[in-house]
Amino acid sequence: MKNIVQRARKRIIHNQAEFGTKILGLPAVTKLLDETSEWDLSDVDLNLLLSKNNGITYDTTVFNETFNKTILITGAAGSVGSEIVRQILMYDPGKVILCDQAESQLHTMQIELENSNPGADTTFVICNIQNENRMRQIFKDTMPDMVFHAAAYKHVPMMEHNPTEAVLANVLGTKVLADLSVEFNVSKFIMLSTDKAIYPTNVMGASKRIAELYIQSMHMKGCHTKFIITRFGNVLGSSGSAVSLFKYQINCGGPVTVTHPLITRYFMTISEAVELVIKAGAIGNGGEIFISDMGEPVKILDLAHKMIELVGLIPDKDIKIIFTGLRPGEKLYEELVHGNEINIPTQDPKIKISTGGNCYKENIDKLIAELLNSVYGSNLEIVKKMKAIVPEYISQNSIYETLDPITEKVVV
């Protein structure tokens, strides 16, 4: 069916999955009739089960904000950063600077854009955002109008064992970019944050919360630069995501590993998340924390079941599911706002602004300086400093629980 609506597509997939049917997508009839065209049946994308979006919508507000502008994107070779690049190029910016320290991935992006956007003015820069002198030269050479800051370490268990790198990348890197944005009169700075920054239970989430606090403090200083924060949850198909892991495990014949039978997460497709980030950046006036509409949280166990069923197999019969226990720093469910924050609507029904949260600390500069001075000490010392900045940071399933007040803990 050429124009099948997504609701009908989901119903078909769900109904047939109950019978163990393997579901494949057929190319358009015009492609089937073209004898010169090569085509294959393709596995149905799991995004169809979880996505709420029917495609990227061209937005005139974004066009007005980005047309003919110089835009710097950090983490531009990553899953989300690269999609920011692709979508920004839809709006005919003057120049796009792709900044990343991953040489191979950045090279892959260069090849892709040379084929897909041969006329675009793009610059590919290999740099670690923590390197202030190098970043200053990049700002001086390119004079960006907007900065989309997507560079970050994001994997919870990995950062739990490497708090030094979490602080250096997520806190120091953000600070360097924010300070340089003010120094070089950048119009807008859009930081990508995470639901794990809300009541953090792990090093990664706490490091992103500290970065949020610093960005909010920059706004409170009344700078020319408009500082904007966007928060969203897990991104389907991003590197290291549950979907990627489950696909690999299913292809290997199982087992599929789920940490806990009750664990849930918010999910978006990469294109959905990035579309909302760019729109939030366009409508933001500075100081806002934009929350993307993530829909209802998804039980990871249900996600595993669906993925197994979509390839025509039966969970726990053809593919075994085993529970491995919560990983260090992991909690059962995520949140998008603090308890004292209130969401107010925007002109886009999929984007809300979080207000009323205590996202400003008068002495944040001093606290971050003390944190950065501790990064080459012991892990316990670093995390202790982080907890001093973020009092609501209570560790879960982690060696850092010894630093928390002795109270009866509730697993969340």
**C-alpha separations of 85 from 52, 93, 164, 278, 388 in Å:** 22, 10, 29, 10, 36
State whether the Cα torsion 52-226-125-233 is positive or negative: negative
Separation CA 190–CA 196 (nearest Å): 18
The phi and psi torsions of 325 (rounded to 5 degrees) equal: 90, 150
Helix (H, G, I), strand (E, B) or coil at 71: strand
Note if the bond before 255 is cis, omega within 30 degrees.
yes
**C-alpha separations of 102 from 114, 162, 277 in Å:** 18, 19, 23
First to last CA, the chain: 44
CB 56: neighbour CB atoms within 10 A? 15
Helix (H, G, I), strand (E, B) or coil at 55: coil
326: which residues sit within 8 A by CB, 6+ positions away? 259, 260, 263, 332, 396, 397, 411
Q: Which of 154, 175, 196, 306 is catalytic?
A: 196
Separation CA 343–CA 292 (nearest Å): 11
Can you name the residues that pair with 226 across neighbouring β-strands?
188
Can you spell out the DSSP letters for 122-183? EEEEE--TT-HHHHHHHHHHH--SEEEE------HHHHHT-HHHHIIIIIIHHHHHHHHHHH
- Report which DSSP code applies to 58: P
Whether 196 is catalytic is yes
Asked whether 123 and 93 are in contact (CB, 8 A), the reply is no
Any idea which residues carry the catalytic annotation?
196
